[in-house]
Structures are given as C-alpha cells and as structure tokens.
A and B are shown apart, each in its own frame.
Chain A
Amino acid sequence: MSAFILSLLTFLPVAGALLILTNWLGEGRARCVAFATSLLNLGLALSMFSRFDGARAGFQFVERHEWIKPLAVNYHLGVDGLGILMVLLSTLLVPMALMASPRTVDRPRLYFPLLLFLECGLIGTFTALNFFHWFLFWEISLIPAFFLVRFWGGPGRTGASLQFFIYTMVGSVGLLLAFVALFLAVGVFDFTRLGELATSGTIPLAVSKMTSGGATSTCISWLIFAGAFLGFAVKVPLMPFHTWLPDTYSEAPPAVTMLLTGAMSKMGVYGFIRILLPIFPAQLLTLQPWLVGLAVLTIVSSAGAAFAQRDLRRTFAYSSVNHLGYCLLGIFALAGAGPESARSSALAGVLLQMFNHGLTAALLFWFLKLLEDRIGGRVRLDEAGGLRQIMPVFTGLMGISLFSSLGLPGLNGFIGEFLIFKGVFAMHPWAAALATPGLLITAVFLLTILQKVFNGPVKEQHATLPDLTVVERIQLAPAITLLFLIGIHPQILMGPLSGFIQHVGGGHP
C-alpha cells in the first residue's frame, strides 16, 4: 500500500466528497461521511508518520509516473520532514474543522464536499514535487475556500470572499508566470531538479541565454523571483500583503477560518522553504536585510494591530499574522550564511512554529465559535465579562489555548519561538531583539482578553450561558492533550524532522 499511499491520502477526500454528492446515503449522513473520511485520512497520515524514517534527509513514499512528456510533467509525489509535518497538520485540522462546523449547516451536501475538496488541495500541495500538479492543487484549495466563505460567511462575506479570491489569485498568477518563465529557460518543472540547477548556477545562465543577456536578463530573473515571491508572501501573509486576511478570517465561518489559518497559511510558509529558498538563493540573499526587516515589522506591527481590535475574530486574525511573522523571520534568516547550529535552530523553530500555530490558532477559533454560539453573535471585548464564573471549564480550556498562543513554556508554542529566536539571534541579533516586543504585546492582548471577557463581574445578559457540554469536552480533549504533549515532549515532532533539519540546516536547501 505504501507505494501509492500519498495518492490515496490525496484522493480519499475526493472519494468522500463524491459519495456525499451522489446522495447515496442521504443528506443527513453527509456530516458523518465527511467526518469518517477525514478520520480515515488522519489514520493514514498517522500510520505514515509512524513509518517515516526521520533520520533520512530525502523524500520518502515517493511516487513518480510520466505524465506529459513534451512538457516534462511528471506525476511526482513524496514527503520529507517538512512535507509529512504539514500533511499531518492538515489531516489533523480537517476533523477539528468538521467538529466545529455548525450542527445544522445550510446545504450540507455542498458544504461538506467543499471542505473535503479543500483537504485534497492541501494534501496535494504538501506532497507534490512537480510544479505542474503542485500548482493545480494550490489553486484547487483556493476555490472551495472561496465558495465556503462566499456562501456560509458572515454579513460582509461577499466583499471579503471576493477580496480574498482576487488577492490570492494575483499572487498565484505571479507564481504561474514565474514558473513558466523558468520552464522556458531550463525546461524543468521538477522542484528538486530546479533546486539542483539553482545550486549549480545553471538557472541564471539559462535565463541570460534566453534573453540577449546583460541588463534585460537581470531584470527578467528578478521578475521571475518577484512573481514567485508574491505568490507566497500573499498566502502567508507577509506585511504589506496581508490586508485581505482580517476581513476574510472574520467573515468566514469559524470552521473554515480554522483551516485557513491552520493549514492554508502554511502553504505559503511551505512554499518559502520548499521552493523559494532552494531555487532563488541569490535573490533572497541580496534582499535579506529588507526581508528580515519586513518580518520584524510583520511581527511587531500585527501584534500592535491585534491589541487595537475590539472584535475577537479580528484580534485572533492579526495574532495569526504575528505568529507567522516568526516563521518568516526564521526563514529569511536562513537565506544567509550562518553557523550550522544557528541555522538548524532557526529551521527547527520554524517547523515547530508552523505546526503549533496551526493547532493553537485553529483551537482558538474553535473556542470562539463555541462562545459565539452561546452569546448569539460576535464576541466583542467591551461587551462580554465574567464568563469564568458561569463557564469555568470553557474558561480553563480556552485559557490553556490562549497561554499556548502566548508561548508559555510547558505548552506547545514556546519551543518553536525559542528556537527561532535562538537561531535568528546568532545571525541577526538586532532583528531578534527588535522582534521581542512582539512576544510582549502578544501577552498583553491575550491577557486583556482573559481580563475583559472572562474575569470581572458577570454581565446580566450572560448569566445563564451553559458551560461546555460533555460532547464538546470530548471533542476538544485530543487537541488540548496535544498542546501539552508537544510542549513537554517535543521529540515526537523533532525526531522525524531531524534528517530534514540536518540536511537543510547544514546548508543544502
């Protein structure tokens, strides 16, 4: 089975989606079918994770078939440490998002298949090693997300979904053009092959051959870089390409936001590591001071913006930007040379942060959804209060997630941020120092949420809100347990990543 396990993983959600669409089991079962499919996928991912040889650096579970020969397109799948981590995260988040979906969702026969298509797009993106179908999956994930926001979103969904789609599409177009140009120059779509060509210096040469050479070719190679960069910078997002995010995250249904922030934002970070770092090392190195500066700006400024928000969805949206800023800081620091220990630390930190942010941010939006259901509308900082008295269990569990987001040691968020700071400090001490206020401001706004929403006297209109039901507690328990597990025993993630970290941290991007 392991010969085609990645394909199975990718297309199992499609099968589930088709099963729902055929309406064979009836509309009422749509949710069950979707959940069963996602659990099956999670099981597959876990079995893959357990069989994954962490000490090896290269790709595992590789599938490779010729597809369109004249265009050098192969169906090429495989995962290394980075890939398997992201696959695991995606398959983990989809069941969570399904559990967080409303009980009586409108048009379930459309909603659940769309979510499953989204999962297919995510897994496809994280496993594809050839640009051609990688890009297909990259776009496939966008379309269900658009419709999910457009049809099931909040009052401002029309504008938000359009902005989200167009903004992300612009980035994708840049990406497509960049890779077509690269293909015209070297005739290769394969990521690993492109990386090798970049290392050996063939790509700049080929680009200059394609044009007349001289100034035009420099310009062309920068344009290629800019296109690819834009695609990923929008997706993560890096400031100033982030303005689509707060609107989208706050208008999307929370279950979809969980996937947007948990997994889709990681597609951008993944692209930076898988594609940009190996294929465009020279350009990244030239721009490094600026990029590091932008990452610091992203961290500090989005934390500030989060503090200024009054709507919790928007606060968490900006908080997401802030947390991904640490990932970008680590990645941009990796673009330059540095001692191996520092590079490895930064990379390990980035990988952990990707996983942990995905988990924690998704949990926070889940809690927010539960709270909104109870209050009957958006949670605003000034209007709620004293909820801890009436919902102690809810407060306790959400408090754990908030502290995980704040980077409290013992929970999952700390190690990643610590390793990023450690790695970045050795290479760019000032950037690390300037980014620390981000950690501080994060603490300020998260504790303000605890203070204003949960502490203090109870508001009269909220006095009868129910605490978490038993079912909800059972649903939340695995994720909460994972927060502790990763925080106390990070080796479960770091072990399988060791080969990848050693390879890339050692200077072989």
Chain B
Amino acid sequence: MNAFAILWMVPLFPLLAAGVSALLPRKARKPAAGLAIGAMACSLTLSLMALANALNQAQSSPGTVQTWNFPWFQIGETWVRLGWLLDPLTALMLVMVCFVGLLIFIYSVGYMAHDSNFTRFFCFLSLFAAAMLGLLISNSLLLLFICWELVGLTSYLLIGFWFHKPSAAAAAKKAFITTRIGDMAFLLGIVWLYSATGTLLFYDHGAGCLEAGAIGELLRTVTHPGMTAATAISLLIFLGAVGKSGQFPLHTWLPDAMEGPTPVSALIHAATMVAAGVFLVARVYPLMAAVPDSQAVPVQEVMHASATAPAGEAAHAPSHHAAANAPVVSTALKVVTWTGILTAIMAAGIAIAQNDIKRILAYSTVSQLGFMMMGIGTGGVAVGMFHLITHAFFKALLFMGAGSVIHGCHEEQDIRLMGGLRKFMPVTFLTYAIGMMALSGVPLFFSGFWSKDAILHAAHGWAPSTAPFYLGLLGALLTAFYMTRQVCLVFFGAPRLGTGAQHGHTPEPPHESPAVMVVPLMLLAACALLLGFLGTPAWPWFQGFINGSGSHLDMGELWAAENLRMMGLSALVVLLGVTLGWWYYGRTSPVVGEPDPLLRISPDIYSLLENKGYLDQVYEATVVRGHAAWAAGCAWADIWLWGSLVDATRYATLGLSWCNRLIDEFLVNGLFDRFSEGLRICGGTTSRWQNGRIQFYLRFIGAGFVLLTLVLIWRSRE
C-alpha cells in the first residue's frame, strides 16, 4: 500500500474519533479516551509509513514533492482545487505530532481522570489533532488556512475548557482574538496571492504558487511602497505566523493560554500548534526567500528550500556555500529574523521574573519560537525545523513534568511554594532535569544543544548583520538562567509546600504521579536525549533529508575549527547561565515571603520583567479601549447621526404636512368660507326683499321706472 496515496487518512482518523465522541454521552469516558488514543495510534502508524515513503523518495529522487490535487468546488467554469503533499518537511512533522500527541493523549487519561467533562476533552483533543495533521499535509494555502483556523478553534475550546472559571473564559477569548488579528493579515496575503497567481496550490506541476513561474511573476510586480508583491505577500503571511506562534507583538495570548489543562499546554501551546507559524514560514520559504535579482539564486532553483538555503546552513553542508558567493537576503527573511530574535530575548527576560511554573514555560516557548524563526531567517528551513522538532519533544516533556508536579502538589503552581520535590517525585525530577538541560542547551548529550548550536552557527554567518548572533548568545544565557532558577526552586532546597501564608490547608506531602503519566515522561526524556544526534555537524542527517541533499557521517567535522569554536562558545554561555542560576537560587534555600534575589539587585528591571513589560496594560489602554471607543462611536452615530437624519426627514415631512394643513385651513378653506359667507349674507339680504307686500314691490317698480326714464332721457340728450 502506498503511504502517500492514503495520506489523507492521517487526519481522518482523529476527525472521525472527534465526530463520534462528540455524540457520545458524558458517561462514556473509556470509549472516548480509547477512540482518541486508537485513532492517534493509527495516524502514527500511517505517519511512520509516510516517513518511510519520504525517505525512499529522498533516495530515489531527492528534492521532489509528491502532490495529489483534487477539485473542491467550481466558480463558474473554474474549479477551486485543494490537495495534499508529502515532502520531508511534512513527513517529519507528521511523525512528531502523532508521536507527541499520542503520548500526551495517554498522559491525559491520568491527568484528567477526575474531570467531569472527560469525554468532551478527548473530543476536542482529537479534533485538534485532525486539524493539525490536516495543516501539515495540505498542498493548498487555502486548505492550510482552513486547518489553521480550526486549530485556533480547538485551542480556544481547550484553553477555555474549565469555562466556569472567568479567567479561563477570558484567556480563551484573548487567544482567539489575538491570533485572529494576525489571521486577518494572513487572509489578505492569501487573497493577494490568489489574485496575483490564480492558484493557491503550493505545487502543481509547475503551476503552483511556490513554483518558479508564479514567484518570478510576483517578483516582477512592484507595489505601492516600492516592495515587490512577493515581499508584501510574504510579510502579510508572516503576520499570521506572528499571531499563531506568539511572536512579538502578538505574543501576549500565549502565557494566558496556560489557563487550559496542562496536557493542552503541552500539546497545543508548546509542541505543535504554536509551532504551526514556524511551519508556515518553512512551507512558504521559497516565497519568503525569493529575491528579485538573478544574482543570488537563479529563480529556477527556488523550487525547494535546499537551493535557497543561504550562508548559515552551509556550515553543515559546505557544498552549497560555494554556489552563493554574495547571498542577498530577502526583506521578508530579514523581518522574520529580527522579529524572532527580539521575541527570543524579550520572552527569555520575562521568564526570569515569573513565579508560576507554567507561565515560565510559556514564556520559554515564546522565546524558543523566536529562536526557530531566527533559525529559518538566517539558516533556512532545516535549521529552524530542527529546533522545532527537538523543542517539541523537550518542551512537551517539561510541560508534562510541570503537570506532574502540579498534580503531585495538589494544584499548586507557584514555584516559590514548592522546593525539595526531588525526594518526593524522583522520576518526575529526573525527566524534568533532562528536559531542562535540553532546553538550556547543555553540551553534547542533549538535543537542545545541537539544534540551538545550528541556529547560532547560522546567525554567525548571516550576511546582513551579526547582531542576531550576539543577541542569540544572550538569549541562550537567559534560557539557562531561568531554567536553572526554576529547577532549583521546584526540586531543590527545603520543602515549602503548604507553608505559604495564603494557603490555609494542612500540608499534605507531595506524591509521585501514576504510571500512565510517568511513562510518557520517560519516553519523551529519551527523545530529548537522542534526537539531537540526528543533526550534529558530524552527521547532519536532518538537514540533508529536509534539503534533499543527502548526508554522511564525518567525525572530522566536529573538530573543524569553526564548529569547535562555536560549540565551545555556546557551552561556555550555558555554563555561565547555569552557574548564575545556581548561585542565586540553589546555594541557599529561599524562604517563603522573602523577595526574589534579583529584586534586591535591580528592583526596576525586575518589576518591569515581572509585569511582562507592561505590554498587557499598554494594549488594554490602546487597542481594547480604542475598540470600545470605536464601538461606542458607531452606536452613537447610529442613534444621533443616522437616526437624527431620519428624524430630520420625519420632522421635515411633518413640517411640510403642517404647512399644507395651514394653507388648507386658512388660505383655501378660509377663502372658500369667506366667499360662502358673503354669498350667504347676500342671499339673506336679498331674500328680505321678497316679503310678500305688494306696496313694497310697487315701490320698487316705481323707483325702477323713474330710474329707467332718467337713464333714457340722459342717453337721448345727445
């Protein structure tokens, strides 16, 4: 059976599971969980088959994309088509999402065991998985956008899963609206791309919008502010990614999204959905990286990422370096890089001053997503995606570890009130420590080291500026610092659980979580250790696979001077961060209620970071207020402006009617009345003459006769 031909079944299984469990009654807890997990297992099997298929394809004809397009509906005579595709990017993402998803589904059975809405939870999770997998395989920007919105919906539903909590309801709404701001720009980018190229299929045997013909056309079109249509569309699409992947300035929803249950945070807001923005940038990379001149990259070669990968990646695949002698970096990629690195630094800084175990991880996610963006911007698809994959595993591990900690500590989330947990929860501690070291980038045995190293390496060779490289080092330092702080406060020192003044309940010792939660942790920890070896400089298999260039084992690369220097430098930075963290938080056990050591050093900076740079307040004061004012203005205009126009017409009509009435009553009727009155008076007077007295008549006749005679005499005078 050809795995590619049935690729559409990968999202279908979870979709069916979601559909069926939506109709299940609330009591059907086991069937719902079983359906979801079973469907995910089927999807994982298919994904592995797809990966094998992609590996074969990479062997036989590297750099090609398998596509299958089908008609959806017609507009007049033309058909709107959708499709799915299989390339290394999709294959790797599919396996990652299915594997992490499956583990988190299993973990959820334990974590959500006491929730009354258990059935609904698995329905939403399955729906999410379906949409996410659909997003990965879609060969059409339209289908991708559809799935993109659906993962947004499930994110909304799952953040607000405990909807009776007002904070959760508000966080869910905030997440949906904030990402939708980016999505509106994304939508404009899509309709622009559609109008300009006439298709939204990525690959369509030369006629797709990511293929040479369309991109060449977009590069030739120059729009209003002097940028090419390709750049403008890329930037609009990137704004969508900014919203979804929590990049500055649309990142504020992601920390609030931690209101959702922890498995949701692990799956959606750490490993998969938030990485969809990075995936999107990777997917449309040929468009993003396109530059107008033929000097940098011949347009013909823009078909696949491998040909356009600029300098940084060349460190791992030197053969490509020679091709681009003076790499011209597109405006879009510059924007991606700078947005990424600024987000990385900012979020890492904020993470230092947070005290909620999940919020720290949330800011860490924002920061790491920034690193991925920077990786794609400076080093191409493979560099960013490598970090995406490794991050997915160790961040899911950390979140699930945090969930285990929260579970064990009876829903306590404040790290200042934990401490000493390593004795009570040994497995959680061990796996969490592995995750922490992977995230911090502790050298050699942890995956984060290799993927972060690749990004720093790429940034070092980035032509436009070396600033991202140094900022990246700073980010790595901060990362090591806040993770050490967290681990020290949670797992080391004296136990402080239940000693907080604000918690009155009797201290109950924390406990280790059940096996259904701990086993997935161990599996993920293994991945966090091993995955890094897929992309070391010695054996850049990952990069070779994504770029379609192949790879081979060459231990000598490790000892190449440049690689060695880079590895040494990043190891040094990590060591410094860990040491500093331990110095401040691990040396002595902190006391509850005592201010944070950093607060004593620099209160201003600390409170700025603790308050997340006051960005929420700024948005509250500008965007939210502005929106409310606009709405109030519209309602006001409706009543007073448009309403009064109507009223004015009404009064004008009434006035006219009154005028008519006045004219009628006084002029027309009045005159008529006067005339009639005169007639009546006249008649009355004359009628009195007819009084029946013969003398009276004779008198008149006589007078008349005299008058007539006089007239006749007068007339006959001449």
Contact = CB atoms under 8 A, between A and B. Distances in A.
B654 to A, nearest CB: 12
A425 B195 contact: yes
Dominant secondary structure at the A interface: helix
Interface in B689-703: none
Given A443-B176, A451-B173, A456 B163 contact: yes
B150 A409 contact: yes
A456 B642 contact: no
B631 A341 contact: no
Contact of A403 (B75, B153, B180, B198): B153
A344 B78 contact: yes
Contacts, number: 153
A375 interface: no
Nearest to A436: B184
Nearest to A345: B75
B174 to A, nearest CB: 9
Contacts of A388: 163
How many of chain A's residues touch chain B, expressed as a range?
35 or more
Contacts of A305: 631, 634-635, 637-638
A309 B635 contact: yes
Interface in B141-185: 142, 145-147, 149-150, 153, 156, 160, 163-166, 168-170, 172-173, 176-177, 180-181, 184
A455 B164 contact: yes
A450 B160 CA distance: 11
A422 B192 CA distance: 7
Nearest to A246: B638
Nearest to B643: A243
A457 B635 contact: no
A78 interface: no
Contact of A457 (B149, B166, B637): B166
Contacts of B163: 388-389, 454-456
Contacts of A188: none
Interface in A395-422: 403, 408-410, 414-415, 418-419, 421-422
B633 interface: yes
A447 B159 CA distance: 14
B149 A408 contact: yes
A422 B195 contact: yes
Given A444-B177, A444-B627, A386 B164 contact: yes
B76 interface: yes
Given A436-B184, A441-B627, A458-B164, A491 B642 contact: no
Interface in B610-633: 627-628, 630-633
B74 interface: yes
A440 interface: yes
B604 interface: no
B83 to A, nearest CB: 16
B73 A491 contact: yes
Interface string A444-483: 1001101100111110000000000000000000000000
A439 B187 CA distance: 11
Contacts of B146: 409-410, 414
A437 B631 CA distance: 12
Contacts of A447: 156, 173, 176-177
B642 A409 contact: no
A61 B163 CA distance: 53
A432 interface: yes
A493 to B, nearest CB: 8
Contacts of A422: 191, 194-195
Interface string B641-659: 1110110000000000000
Given A443-B176, A443-B177, A308 B76 contact: no
B188 interface: yes
How many of chain B's residues touch chain A, expressed as a range?
35 or more
Interface stretch (A96-104, A129-137, A501-509): A501-509
A456 B166 contact: yes
A187 to B, nearest CB: 33
B594 interface: no
Nearest to B195: A426
Nearest to A430: B224
A302 interface: yes
A498 B77 contact: yes
A348 interface: yes
A336 to B, nearest CB: 15
B184 A308 contact: no
Nearest to B167: A456
Given A458-B164, A495-B74, A308 B634 contact: yes
Contacts of A409: 145-147, 149-150
Contacts of B641: 240
A304 interface: yes
B714 interface: no
Q: Select the residue from B73, B147, B160, B177 with max chain A CB neighbours within 10 A.
A: B73
B192 A425 contact: yes
A456 B635 CA distance: 27
B184 A505 contact: no
A494 interface: yes
A84 to B, nearest CB: 16
A432 B76 contact: no
A54 to B, nearest CB: 9
A410 B150 contact: yes
Nearest to A340: B76
Given A239-B642, A443-B177, A495-B73, 11 more contacts: A243-B642, A341-B78, A341-B198, A348-B75, A389-B163, A418-B191, A440-B181, A450-B173, A491-B74, A494-B73, A495-B74
Interface of A: 167, 239-240, 242-244, 246, 301-309, 341-342, 344-345, 348, 386, 388-389, 403, 408-410, 414-415, 418-419, 421-422, 425-426, 429, 432-433, 436-437, 439-441, 443-444, 447-448, 450-451, 454-458, 489-491, 494-495, 498, 501-502, 505-506
